[in-house]
Structures are given as C-alpha cells and as structure tokens.
Amino acid sequence: MIRVRRLMAIARVVFRYRLDTLLDKSKTPWPLRLMLSPAVLWGKPKASRGERLRKALESLGPIFVKLGQLLSTRPDLVPADICSELAHLQDNVAPFDSDTFRQIVEDALGDSVDEIFLSFEKEPLASASVAQVHAAVLKDGSDVVVKAVRPNIEKTIGKDIALMYTLARLLAKFSQDGRRLRPVEVIADYEQVIYDELNLQAEGANASLLRHNFEGSPLLYVPKINWDYSNEKVLVMERIYGTPVTNIADLEEAGIDFKLLAERGVEIFFTQVFEHNFFHADMHPGNIFVDTSNPRKPSYIGIDCAIMGSLSKEDQYYMARNLIAIFQRDYRKVAELHIRSGWVPKTTPVNEFTGAIRAVCEPIFQRPLNEISLGHMLISLFTTARRFDMEVQPSLVLLQKTLLNIEGLGRQLYPQLDLWTTAKPFLDRWLKERYSPKSLFKQFKQLVPDWLEQLPEIPPLIYSALKTAQQTAENQPKTAVVAVPETKTQPLRRLIPWISAAAVGVGFGLAVASWTESLAQVPVTSLTLVGVGLLVLLLR
C-alpha cells in the first residue's frame, strides 16, 4: 500500500511538471502514452524542460535530488540544457532538524555533544541530499565540522530505488529513447553511488588518502580527518577557511592570479588520474575552495570525497595515448588504440572506424585551441564509438565527468585557458617515465615477491613435465628407422639450453634485485631457480 501511494505521488509530480513532454511521442509506444495521457489536464508547460525536471526532482525529495545530481554529471546520456539545469541541485536541499542531528551524533559517538565538543553550532553550515554539516570546536580548541547522514534515509532509499527500477524497466521496455538512455543501468549506478555515500567512514578514508597523495603539495589541500570521533554515521574533520571558487568577485579583490589558478586545476586533475590513479570524481564548484593567503601562488582546497575514481593501468595508458593521438590528429592511431584496449570489439573495421572518428574530431579542430573542450570531445568520441558496439566503462564515465568539471571551472576562472597546452607536457612526461629504466626496475622489484612465492613449485613441475615427455616418447609404437632430418623431439631438445640459461639468468637477476632491497631470504630462493636451470641440463 505504501509503495502504491508513493507511486501515485510520483505520478502527480510527473503530470504537474509535464515530464511526458520529455519523450518523443513518435517513438513512444501507445501503452506508455496512455499511462501519461492524464498529464494534458495540467495544461501546456510554461518553463523549460530542464527547469521542470529539476523542480519535479526537488518536489520528490532528497533521493530524487541525488538522482538529478547524478544525471547532471552524465552529459553522455542527458542533453546539455538539462544537465545545466540539474547542476543547480548541488547542495540545495532543505536541512533537517538540528536536535535530530545532535541526537544522531551522540548515538554514533556514544557520548553527549557537550562532553565531546567545546562548542557546537546549532544551525547547519550546509545541507545536502544525503548528509548535513555543522560547525564545532573540540576540547583542544580545534575548529572542526561534523557531518552526519540524514535520519532513516536507508529505508527511504530502498523504497524509492525499488520504484525507480520499476519505472526504468517500463521506460526501457516501451520507449525507444528509453532503451538508448539505458535507464536500468543509470539506476544501478545511482544505487551504488548513494549507498556508498551513506558510509562516512569510507568517505573519510578517501579524504585521508587524497590528503596523503598531496601532502606538501602547493596545488591542493585536503582537510584532516579526526578519526577519534569518526565512524560510518558521523565524520569529524578539520574546518577549512577558503573562498568558494565561484566567488569570482572575492577572488579578484584578493588579487588572485587567475591564469595560474586555472592551470593548477588542470594539473591537479592529471596528477590525480595519471600519477596517483585516485581522483576526486565529484569536483563540482560546491566542493572546491581557494586559499587566497598567497594571491600570486593560489592553491585549492577540496572537500567531500564520497565519490572517487581510478583507472586500470591499461586504461591509464590507452587514455593518455588517445589524448595525444587526438591532438596530433592521428585518427587511425585513435581507432587502433580503441581496438587494442578492448573498448570496441576486435572485429571493428579500422578504416571505417577511423573515418567516423575523423568526422567527429576534424570540425572541432577548426576552432582556436582555447575554445576546444577536451571533455566534450571525449563525449562525442565515445558516442561515435557506441555505433561500433563500444561499452563505456563506469571509470571512464567518471573520468570524462571530472574532466568536464575541471575544464568548465578553468574556463570560468580564465576564459583563455588552453587545456591542451597545459596537459600535453604532463602526458608526454608521464609516458616517458612509465617506460624509463627506473620505472621498469621498480615494477620488476614489485613482482619479485610473487615470483618468489612460486619458485619452490617450479623444479618439481619441470621435472614432472620432462618425465612425462620422456615416458610418452618411450611408449610410442616402434617403427622402422627412417632417416629424417629432424624428429619431433629435436626442436624441444634444442630449446633446453635456452630454457636453462634463462632460468639461471632470471635466478641471478632475482638475487640482484633482492640484494638491493636487503631481503635476506631472496638470494637463497633465487638460487633455487639457478638450480632449475642446472636440473634441466642434467635431465637433458
């Protein structure tokens, strides 16, 4: 009964804001048109489609607001005008009762607020769809902020997500646009994101690692987490004092170097993605502040690390190569990289795919470089690749979303920002260092422990394989001796000296690597591999 009432409430909001007009009637099957037909009773829509969708989500409550925030970051699925309007949903949620917030904190920490804090502000600093933040001062005088999850939100999320899945399946089944937008996948992505955000301890761990990655860096500062008063339900962290990055007038008054600030934003993005492989994937303006204490060398302050992203080593490599190839206008290389990476099927015709990529990218390059949006270019590229059965990985979607945020922010701060001029030296340096002798030796040393674990198993395996081969040869039926240039076993026998030499060489290599790491047990084990090589020679 509760689910039916909620469904009716959703239907009334859909009708009121004429969300039926968001669908293409010519592509919408008659059962769905019939279900939405009562909407005409509310008259013709007066506001834009983006504004109507935003207001509808606001009317449906925090869970749907969070869905709108997620959709605002999916320009690969949602038109630009709707994305722009949904972006207004960030941190624009009515706060819940302060006494309830206080009770949540006390239940989570097992003590009264008066015992834990020297002072505790009743009015919230900020209120979002999942959590709320209040300022406080610890007994030692430290200024902190206290973040707590909204009360009973888990039950509300469970009920609303169940309804969202139902609506998404109906949309996917009865609407051609619905199948294209993949609503069920969007809801599944949303479900994972919002449940992850309910665990504030995970958010604190993300912030702690991001802080460690930029320790001592002039680029980004991340508030310190106070783990003595933090858990899954409550997060206590250092309070930061900075200027919101969107307050351009305040930044101008402070005398900020906007060109350097914009370029540092780009450098932070590429450093996170390619050096740390751990990037803040929710860097909308509400989560970014500027330290104006040194206007000539401004730095960023980042908060709210609930959503983080990372790439596989392969995706890191192929993304860097793709970006370089795109700006070199080597479209065949872009096509080949997509195929080699597995982003599109191996059977994709290279020439046809190259032509499709050229048709997308070449018109863009007719503009000045400081007007080219790398983020939108990636979206266009991925959209084209879908014609060739490309399945975009969630990590790549997070990457392009973050790039769009950084690029948009950078251009807002400094309209002449040439993203490529800032990014290319970084990518060139990263690719060069990736295959430098120092980097390769580092990777080799990282593999040594795994190899050592498997080394004791190698001698009996080789001995068993050789014995099996010898027994198989002895059990072959006897035939008349025929003079032939080479028997089937001779090629294998010719490889034995090379196998033994390789075993000896790798064994000594492991010993050298281990001695540089002062691992006493490794030289002995590496000699086992040397013994393998000698054993192979003896069995020969």
For strands 234-238 and 143-149, give the pairing. Answer: antiparallel
Q: Write out the two tokens for 109.
A: 């920490």
Inter-residue contact 329 to 365 (CB < 8 Å): yes
Q: Write out the two tokens for 396.
A: 């790549």
Distance CA 275, CA 213 (A): 10
Inter-residue contact 53 to 85 (CB < 8 Å): yes
Task: Convert 472-488 to b/e letters by CB count within 10 Å (16 or more is b).
Answer: eeeeeeeeeeeeeeeee
Distance CA 287, CA 244 (A): 8
**Relative orientation angle of helices 394-413 and 313-327, to the nearest 10 degrees:** 50
Distance CA 304, CA 514 (A): 41
Q: Write out the two tokens for 256.
A: 């900020």
Q: How far is CA 40 from the centre of its chain?
A: 41
Catalytic position from the list 160, 282, 291, 304: 282
Residue closest to 255 by CA, chosen among 217, 293, 214:
293
Judged by DSSP in three states, 418 sits in: coil
Distance CA 168, CA 222 (A): 38
- Provide the 8-state DSSP code for 275: I
For strands 143-149 and 131-138, give the pairing. Answer: antiparallel
Residue 293, Cβ neighbours under 10 Å: how many? 11
Inter-residue contact 307 to 195 (CB < 8 Å): no
Residue 204, Cβ neighbours under 10 Å: how many? 23
Distance CA 51, CA 22 (A): 12
Distance CA 110, CA 175 (A): 51
Distance CA 534, CA 508 (A): 13
Inter-residue contact 191 to 161 (CB < 8 Å): yes
DSSP H helical segments within 296-393, as ranges?
313-327, 331-341, 350-364, 374-386
Query: What is the secondary structure of 73-100 as a DSSP string?
Result: T-TTTS-HHHHHHHGGGTT--PPPPHHH
Distance CA 269, CA 407 (A): 10
Residue 63, Cβ neighbours under 10 Å: how many? 22
> Which residues does 126 contact at the CB level (< 8 Å), separation at least 6?
91, 132, 133
Q: Write out the two tokens for 331.
A: 């479209």
Inter-residue contact 415 to 298 (CB < 8 Å): no
282 labelled catalytic: yes
The amino acid at 467: K
Catalytic (active-site) positions: 282
